[in-house]
Amino acid sequence: MLDDEYVEFAVEILVENLTKSIDFYKIIRFEVIRTYNSDDYDFATLKFANTIIMLKEDRRVNKVIDGSIIQLRFILNDDLTKFHEHVQQQNIPILKPLGDIYYGLRRFSISDPDGYELKFGMKQ
């Protein structure tokens, strides 16, 4: 079991609508570990494979979220092709098609509701 309080590295990203983001990530098989709501912000911790990602909708931050400058990479130990098929079946647009990269990774990428590029890969 992966305990998000003790992982060596986790990413926290700002989102405009936490509920919408959680719904999206659940569709692509992320597991919600915990949520927290307060007057200032709403927060969720999600697990995917052996990684943790934290989402935060912060009402104290008055700015437009531009996730297009951030890329998050997830390396799978399972069948990447099956996962790619699952994503396609959910009608999620593929940003970069499934293909081989020169450094020994097979990968594809999609975009989340805030524009963050999510790259999913597997060693060749």
Structural domain spans, the chain: 11-123
Q: What per-residue confidence (pLDDT) applies to 2?
A: 55
- Tell me how far apart the alpha carbons of residues 95 and 110 are, in angstroms, rounded to a whole number: 5
The whole-number pLDDT of residue 70 equals: 85
**AA identity, residue 18:** L
Q: How far is CA 84 from CA 71, 87, 110, in A?
A: 18, 5, 10
pLDDT < 70 positions in the chain: 1-6, 64
pLDDT of residue 3: 60
Residue 5 is predicted with a pLDDT of 57
Q: What's the confidence (pLDDT) of residue 4?
A: 55
**pLDDT at position 17:** 93
Phi-psi region of 9 (alpha: psi -120 to 50; beta: other; left: phi over 0): beta
User: Which architecture characterizes domain 11-123 according to CATH?
Assistant: Roll (3.10)
